[in-house]
Structure 1
Amino acid sequence: MDRDNNGKEFYFAKLSDLKVPVTFRISQLEGKRKPLSLTELLDKPELKFSGLQLPTLSDLYVTCQLVADNKPLTAPYRTSFKAFKNGYTWNEWVTFPINYCDVPLSSQITFTVWDIAGPRSATPVGGSTFRLFGKKMTLRRGKHRLLLWRDREADGSVETQTPSKVGIQDEMGRLEKLMKKFDRGDLPKNDWLDRLAFRRIEEIHTSEEAKSENLYLYVDLPRFDFPVIFDETESYPVTARTPAPPQPAIPVATQAVVNINQDPHLWAILDPEMELENPVEDKHRRLVRSHRNGPLDRELKPNPEIRNDLNRILNYAPTQALASEEKDLIWKFRYYLTRDKRGLTKFLKSVTWRDSNEVKQAIEILLPLWSDIDTDDALELLGPNTVDSRVRRYAVKQLNRAGPDELMLYLLQLVQALKFESLTSSDQRSSRSANSAISQEESGLAEFLIDRAVKNVVFGNRFYWYLMVEIGVEDKVTSKLYAKVVYRFQNRITEMDGTERRDLLRRQAEFIQVLSNKAKELRTSKDPRPKKIDKLRTFLADSKNGLSSLYPIPLPLDPTKEITGITPEKSSVFKSNLFPLLLFLQCSDGTEYPIILKNGDDMRQDQLVLQLFRLMDQLLKMENLDLKLSPYEVLATGALEGMAQFIPSKSIQAIVDEYGTLVEYLKANYPDEGSVGTFGIQPSVLDTYIRSCAGYCVVTYLLGVGDRHLDNLLLAPDGHFFHVDFGYILGRDPKPFPPPVKLCKEMVQAMGGPQSPHYQRFNRLCYTAFTILRKHSNLIINLVSLMVDANIPDIKHRDVHEHFLDKFRLDLTEEEAIKHFESLLPTSYFTAMLDMVHHWAQYWRS
């Protein structure tokens, strides 16, 4: 933080502190490409094989490379193959193996779009060179439109011939600059006016694109909270001043005039004491928190005004930082707060961990006095910000009170918390181990989870697969950490149950590997879908593969089920891009368990979303509110593979195409002509439909689920409504102007319209569910925050704190928050045009 000349505060970050890889997303290509004329084809007949002459969109790809000072800093990267239907959209994230703190000021990224020129040859569609830093030495962020120089490969030299930004002045360029200011918060926001403005911008964008002769490539850079300023990482030695030798006099007329405001290098002064503690502030803190005041502080009681301030601080979200004055206030009344279980996490944030006296008092005196904390606070203490293993050990002790079913709800996050264990117990963290006030011993979280996993087979099975996914990550340190935990777990189950249980886990892995290999083979083959289905069924029916009849093994997705084989006749292949498999598993109890098995898709984000849905469902049921949610099982078995439970249902789009309305669909499956006020549907089915609609409207709103359309909103014959496909969360959405609450007109019509009593009941259920979940906001925020290092893109590149503050509106009272949520429902109908566009896109793809 610093201040400008007018005294206003401004914030920035230094590039040397940004120790994360260079990351960006290649979004889409816009502009017209005209096919060659007949004369050109007659002159060069070989050009008829080029992608430009194809009747469909050609298979373009993009290559990019980080360069600086005429030298490459990374190897070239090429986007993966993608079949285009309606436009050239990649939406592919690229991560270079170099950190931001290591790139020089002259860094550039070269982008070249390539097309097919003929058999085994490619030709550049256009190239562009993008400077990573702006004119004021700030790291560029957000969305950028790059001009492509037609038929040229990107030039990565210092004086590039293919700059991404030139002096072309068009209306869209002007509007995009204003949009960047709007995203940064430099322009005031007005909801109703902004909606009109965005609609008008879309119209201008369409017309400008039709008139423009240029090609533009859109890229997205991470949006950091503050501007990132380039700075030198090395420090310069301070040398003694020596008298300068006499210089010849320079005539005044020939002296160069230097403008210090225009030369940023004149201000690149490194202060060697910049990172040190301010001695004045440190002295003030030690005086305020003097140990001499300890006996007096024990009996200190706050007055009503201070009590209100303390309550306000205790109601902060877990991810909100405390100001220095708030920390001092918490410390002053620390003994008074020991009776309030909410105060422990805030008190630990107020401790100065480099001060041995404060640490000793906090850990040895106050921590044992504190009231037992709730699970949400225990999870917060297991996060990356807890530096003392004794505090983490206390959190593990609090978790020991939870039963296996409750602990299963948090298991995914507890496995991620093992990463932060290595931060406090590793000898390599010299900056922490140098301070003897902080304990670096192991907290016992791994041993606690292993002990629970050994005692409970279902818990242990899910624990094993969560660990195996982390072993497969690229980070060798993390992989080695989890491999040690798996080794200890397998040794423990061998000591208790012999090799039988360990063999079951091995056979599960072999079973999944065989199916995953087949899924990959079918996905990459060029056969039509019917041929793929025939190959799958032949493979499953072949006795050599041993899949139609198995020795019973627990299903990894649901260990309570034992599978004995797969039914080849019912198995199929879906018609999506990745061609996932639909498998009907035979269970030992005579039932069938249908699953979807995917290869080539990262299912960890879906796994997290469904886990949070399951948690929210339990929280609502604890308050006697059953909203009939269907949190189906999802399990990622690798970084790019996994399986999900298949629930027989139909998408709303398919129902509308076949039945016309959702009412007719429900009536066809569960009719009741004698019912009154339920449109000829059994009352329990309509009740299930209304409750599940309300539940999913609230939970998808809180998690910011995006890319909602009529093909991923599903309805089961018994009235259970649910969502699938969670590729966009925490506010990300590929569509413009996404509604905050996912409610389409077909859903409302099935309730009788917005004036019907069923719709009013739906509204009341939404308000009640939102109020209940808002009371558990700390638990939800802590669970998502623990997943920040889980390599889930939508969490890694989003601000979890800001998202949930905006959704839960913790700054408002309960009544005000309900009114805010109420205002979102009437305006949250899907845009019918976007649904129609998506429907036609799916039609042409099929």
Structure 2
Amino acid sequence: MSSRNVTYCLSRDLDFPFRVKITALEGSKQLLKESTKFTNPSTLKKLSNFQQNSDLFATAVVTLDGLPLTLPITTPYTSFRNSRKWNEWLELPIKVNQLPFTSKLHITLWEFDDSKRSIFGEAELNIFNVEDDCTLKRGRQKLDLILADNNTINLVKSTQPTKMDDLEKLIKKHENGDIISVDWLDNLTFRKIEQTNRAQSTDSQFLLFIDLVQFDIPVVFSDFKYPPPQIPTYIPTEQQPPLNQPKINTGKSSTLKIYDPEQYVSDPIEQKYRKLERSHKDGPLDRELKPTAKIRDELNKILNYSSVQELSQYEKNLVWKFRYFLINNKKGLNKLLKSINFSDETERKEALKLIYKWVEIDIEDALELLGPNFKDITVRTYAVERLKKAHDNELELYLLQLVQALKYESLTSSSSIGNSEYSIVELNESTSSSMLNASLSPLSQFLVDRALGNDRLGSFLYWYLNVESKDKPNSVYKQILDHYLKNYTNDGLTKEISLVDSLVKLCLKIKNTKDTTPKKIEALRSILDTKFKSFPPVKLPLDPSVEICGTISSESSVFKSSLSPLKITFKTTDGGEYPLMFKVGDDLRQDQLVIQIILLMNRLLTNENVDLKLTPYKILATGPTEGAIQFIPNSTLASVLAEYHGILPYLRHHHPDPNEELGVSDWVMDNFVKSCAGYCVITYILGVGDRHLDNLLICPDGHFFHADFGYILGQDPKPFPPLMKLPPQIIEAFGGASSPKYNMFRNYCFVSYSILRKNSNLILNLFEMMRDSSIPDITIEPDRAVYKVKEKFCLDMSEEEAIIHFQNLINDSVSALLPMVIDRLHSLAQYWRA
């Protein structure tokens, strides 16, 4: 390929050393008088003080931000007579493709001062055209030399271009071949240029001429693109991650960012101290060790840390030192396990001895041990043993997270349990033989065993595993699912699978029809009357406690949407009706997670005798892009306000009571106030976004609830979203901000917020187990998801401070103007879209 066909090349492709030619030095300075020899004899040591062409030598080095990148390269000795000319090429120990964009060539001229060398002058040049076209400089270069004796030179250079500057640009074009060469004309021109140069030169100015490699085409700067390093948020000090490749910014930035591969390597001094602290054998002295009052306060502070709080090295050593003192504290085991270096076999064995001597931990702490931060098979098996004591109803609340925790056991096999000296096998009377199945981990075998004994639990386990196995075909979920189906003997699950397959085909058929929505509704009802009017009883996957035997076509419909979700009303075997919405083409796993957390929070509140009348509708994802949603008859606040011009008129219309102050039955207002308080607190903690009047729903009996959880953990498509969504129409329905109902609403908010703060560890552990799931708003920042929830609990505040904080949130939400404007804009957009 000829040079005419190439416009430029990249600097990263030039894999050869950077070279520079030190050509000549022009200029002179005023010599010292002869009398100075007698008045100041020391000046004789510098030859340049009395000789115009004293011997000099040059060194060249590449620098970045004033710091050298290479060793200096020196010109050989040259004896000058009439002029200072070196004409020497220097090859620097750095390649062109290794040069940073803002690197400079620094040249120093040296002379001898008696027996030592001293600096005569210095010059510097940007290797790349930083402010122009980002190309590598080439050809002849003229540098201003700054003398070491600043008194002999004027360092202030005029900014006005001279005639010689313009001529030098033309000379460069001539050297690059851009100007046609004519010998006789070139001789005359260069003679005239030399005369002009002499006329403009001054005695106080030194010019250093150098030559860079003359390339035929421009060389544009381009750096290598390194993959971003995978740096985890939390890495224990005892673990050493693999070395990361450096990441270097490209472009005109002057910052060179290099990720230190040793930044997570443990401090050797700390490692030595740790070994000295924990190297002694288990003895009676450790068992009798008691903390002082001050240390006891520090231990209590550590025990009260949230489950996601990292421990410092001092705190880890403190927990280890007083491990026998903490053996009767159920909150201490997890803190001890966080303090263990599992790569140290001696320390690991000594610590694992204490696991089964420890007082029994709570379920929420057992869930933490099944999270991503604990990989030891003995620790995880102990957590499974604790889960065995949980009731099936309680286990159902955590089943979604337990299925996600299976991925953290994919690299461990229960067959390796026997390799540990202090393993679960020591509990021979409490260890089931099925737990030692070589093909499954302890947690997976436990879930399969419990699912085989409880059809309701088995139904949910199947659908959770089915979604994950379809989303990740080569994961451990497929193996567990096959094992579960192999041991399943009932035909109930087979009927559920057949029902869902039929619904998927029906939904796709209606969705792919190009007719209008009324035509789709007509087609749906016709198919239901023909094929699904009645069928043998089958348990509903969405709610296995409900058994269905047919459909009611007149109560079924198709929603006006691009996905055309179906509303199908099923007949139950007890003579009732069960409406649900089935859709294909949408991932329902995030909504499913939010509903599961709401159900859990509702259980936590009712355990404290606080019933906030929550109405969490059921959601089940039957595949990565399909699922069912329970349909609860309701009205959006937007439609209620449009038709009734207020929430109170809507409630009065359905349940009037003239004897009450607000004209609404007392039990209806009680439902409304309590449910508003419950969802206000829960949506704040979960960071539910995209709240508007079309996804705030209300039932005729006063139950208020939220729908559409497409944005959680602070994500929101609208600018400046409020931390809490509390429309003024709701406050107006209470009777105003000074009404008794509003005060009751606030009290319920404070009580429920306090209860949920006390159970924050359980909620945080569940989100930690979902860290590596496919939930969209968790995958954005997996390592930050649990901390976003933690921030909402305000665990660093006291109980009183947290209540005041929540009171301020309510006040800010009530007085906020921007959400009202956004709601109005949303309503207008919906109107024009309709």
TM-score interval for Structure 1 and Structure 2 normalised by the shorter chain: 0.5 to 0.7
- Mapped to 1, the partners of 2:12 and 2:626 lie a distance apart of 41
Does residue 845 (structure 1) correspond to residue 833 (structure 2)? The answer is yes
Residues 367 and 651 of structure 1: CA distance in aligned 2, closer, same or farther (over 3 Å): same
Q: Which of 257, 274, 290 is equivalent to 1:285?
A: 274
Does residue 373 (structure 1) correspond to residue 373 (structure 2)? The answer is no
2:579 — aligned with what? 594
Give the deviation of 1:487 after TM superposition: 2.2
Does residue 784 (structure 1) correspond to residue 767 (structure 2)? The answer is yes
1:332 — aligned with what? 321
Deviations, residues 403-458 of structure 1 (Å, cap 9, x unaligned): 1111111111111111111133399x9xx999999999865211211121111111
User: Which is further off, 799-808 or 693-702?
Assistant: 799-808
Residues 320 and 801 in structure 1, CA contact (< 8 A), matched pair in contact too: no
Does residue 493 (structure 1) correspond to residue 493 (structure 2)? The answer is no
Matched to 1:395, the amino acid is A
Q: Which of 408, 427, 432 is equivalent to 1:420?
A: 408
Structure 1 SS opposite 2:830: helix
2:594 — aligned with what? 609
- Mapped to 2, the partners of 1:525 and 1:319 lie a distance apart of 50
Give the deviation of 1:233 after TM superposition: 5.5
Q: Which of 669, 676, 680 is equivalent to 2:660?
A: 676
- Mapped to 2, the partners of 1:223 and 1:444 lie a distance apart of 30
Q: How does 1:49-128 map to 2 (within 5 A)?
A: none
Residues 268 and 572 of structure 1: CA distance in aligned 2, closer, same or farther (over 3 Å): closer
Does residue 344 (structure 1) correspond to residue 339 (structure 2)? The answer is no
Report how many residues are paired. Answer: 585
Q: How does 1:387-426 map to 2 (within 5 A)?
A: 387-425=375-413
1:115 — aligned with what? none
Residues 396 and 443 in structure 1, CA contact (< 8 A), matched pair in contact too: no
Q: How does 1:705-724 map to 2 (within 5 A)?
A: 705-724=688-707
Give the deviation of 1:463 after TM superposition: 1.1
- Mapped to 2, the partners of 1:575 and 1:820 lie a distance apart of 42
Does residue 476 (structure 1) correspond to residue 473 (structure 2)? The answer is yes
Give the deviation of 1:810 after TM superposition: 0.5
Structure 1 SS opposite 2:329: coil
Deviations, residues 207-235 of structure 1 (Å, cap 9, x unaligned): xxxxxxxxxxxxxx9999989xxx99679
Residues 229 and 245 in structure 2, CA contact (< 8 A), matched pair in contact too: no
Matched to 1:720, the amino acid is H
Residues 601 and 756 in structure 2, CA contact (< 8 A), matched pair in contact too: yes
Residues 419 and 521 of structure 1: CA distance in aligned 2, closer, same or farther (over 3 Å): same
1:689 — aligned with what? 672
Give the deviation of 1:805 after TM superposition: 2.5
Matched to 2:487, the amino acid is R
2:622 — aligned with what? 637
Does residue 765 (structure 1) correspond to residue 763 (structure 2)? The answer is no
Q: How does 1:240-279 map to 2 (within 5 A)?
A: 277-279=266-268
Residues 375 and 409 in structure 2, CA contact (< 8 A), matched pair in contact too: no
Residues 668 and 701 in structure 2, CA contact (< 8 A), matched pair in contact too: yes
- Mapped to 1, the partners of 2:689 and 2:352 lie a distance apart of 44
- Mapped to 2, the partners of 1:223 and 1:803 lie a distance apart of 21
Structure 2 SS opposite 1:717: coil
Give the deviation of 1:707 after TM superposition: 0.5
1:200 — aligned with what? none
Matched to 1:413, the amino acid is Q
Residues 789 and 274 of structure 1: CA distance in aligned 2, closer, same or farther (over 3 Å): closer
Deviations, residues 709-768 of structure 1 (Å, cap 9, x unaligned): 000000011110000100000111111121112211111111001111100110000000
Residues 803 and 294 of structure 1: CA distance in aligned 2, closer, same or farther (over 3 Å): farther
- Mapped to 2, the partners of 1:824 and 1:403 lie a distance apart of 38
Residues 751 and 223 of structure 1: CA distance in aligned 2, closer, same or farther (over 3 Å): farther
Residues 224 and 601 of structure 1: CA distance in aligned 2, closer, same or farther (over 3 Å): farther
2:462 — aligned with what? 464
- Mapped to 1, the partners of 2:711 and 2:258 lie a distance apart of 41
Matched to 2:270, the amino acid is E
Residues 383 and 828 of structure 1: CA distance in aligned 2, closer, same or farther (over 3 Å): same
Does residue 555 (structure 1) correspond to residue 544 (structure 2)? The answer is no
Residues 520 and 600 in structure 1, CA contact (< 8 A), matched pair in contact too: no
Structure 2 SS opposite 1:827: helix
Residues 387 and 438 in structure 1, CA contact (< 8 A), matched pair in contact too: no
Give the deviation of 1:634 after TM superposition: 0.6
2:685 — aligned with what? 702
Structure 1 SS opposite 2:771: coil
Residues 376 and 779 in structure 1, CA contact (< 8 A), matched pair in contact too: yes
Residues 294 and 837 of structure 1: CA distance in aligned 2, closer, same or farther (over 3 Å): farther
Give the deviation of 1:592 after TM superposition: 0.4
Residues 409 and 615 in structure 1, CA contact (< 8 A), matched pair in contact too: yes
Residues 767 and 786 in structure 2, CA contact (< 8 A), matched pair in contact too: no
2:639 — aligned with what? 654
Identity of aligned residues (%): 47
1:185 — aligned with what? none
- Mapped to 2, the partners of 1:690 and 1:515 lie a distance apart of 38
User: Which is further off, 412-421 or 830-839?
Assistant: 830-839
Matched to 1:667, the amino acid is R
2:650 — aligned with what? 665
Aligned-pair Cα RMSD in Å: 3.2
Residues 393 and 444 in structure 1, CA contact (< 8 A), matched pair in contact too: yes
Residues 388 and 438 in structure 1, CA contact (< 8 A), matched pair in contact too: no
Matched to 2:684, the amino acid is Y
Give the deviation of 1:509 after TM superposition: 1.7
Residues 836 and 69 of structure 1: CA distance in aligned 2, closer, same or farther (over 3 Å): farther
Residues 540 and 568 in structure 1, CA contact (< 8 A), matched pair in contact too: yes
Give the deviation of 1:553 after TM superposition: 0.5
Does residue 566 (structure 1) correspond to residue 547 (structure 2)? The answer is no
Residues 377 and 414 in structure 2, CA contact (< 8 A), matched pair in contact too: no
Give the deviation of 1:317 after TM superposition: 1.7
Unaligned residue ranges in structure 1 (runs of 5+):
1-67, 71-133, 137-162, 164-220, 236-260, 495-500
Residues 670 and 682 in structure 1, CA contact (< 8 A), matched pair in contact too: yes
- Mapped to 2, the partners of 1:681 and 1:223 lie a distance apart of 59
- Mapped to 1, the partners of 2:318 and 2:710 lie a distance apart of 43
Structure 2 SS opposite 1:648: coil
Deviations, residues 543-599 of structure 1 (Å, cap 9, x unaligned): xxx211111110000111111111111111112342211110111111000001111
- Mapped to 1, the partners of 2:232 and 2:488 lie a distance apart of 46
Give the deviation of 1:538 after TM superposition: 1.8
Q: Which of 322, 347, 352 is equivalent to 1:358?
A: 347
- Mapped to 2, the partners of 1:736 and 1:785 lie a distance apart of 28
1:26 — aligned with what? none
- Mapped to 2, the partners of 1:269 and 1:602 lie a distance apart of 37
Residues 678 and 749 in structure 2, CA contact (< 8 A), matched pair in contact too: yes
- Mapped to 2, the partners of 1:301 and 1:401 lie a distance apart of 33
Give the deviation of 1:845 after TM superposition: 2.5
Give the deviation of 1:522 after TM superposition: 3.1
Q: Whose Rg is larger? A: 2
Structure 2 SS opposite 1:614: helix
Q: TM-score, normalised by structure 2?
A: 0.66
Residues 226 and 349 of structure 1: CA distance in aligned 2, closer, same or farther (over 3 Å): closer
Structure 1 SS opposite 2:581: strand
- Mapped to 2, the partners of 1:417 and 1:772 lie a distance apart of 26
Unaligned residue ranges in structure 2 (runs of 5+):
1-10, 14-99, 103-132, 134-227, 235-241, 247-251, 425-435
- Mapped to 1, the partners of 2:481 and 2:445 lie a distance apart of 11
Does residue 624 (structure 1) correspond to residue 609 (structure 2)? The answer is yes
Matched to 1:351, the amino acid is I
Residues 567 and 584 in structure 1, CA contact (< 8 A), matched pair in contact too: yes
Matched to 1:528, the amino acid is T
Give the deviation of 1:534 after TM superposition: 1.5
1:576 — aligned with what? 561
1:450 — aligned with what? 448
Residues 331 and 361 in structure 2, CA contact (< 8 A), matched pair in contact too: yes
Structure 2 SS opposite 1:334: coil
- Mapped to 1, the partners of 2:243 and 2:270 lie a distance apart of 27
1:739 — aligned with what? 722
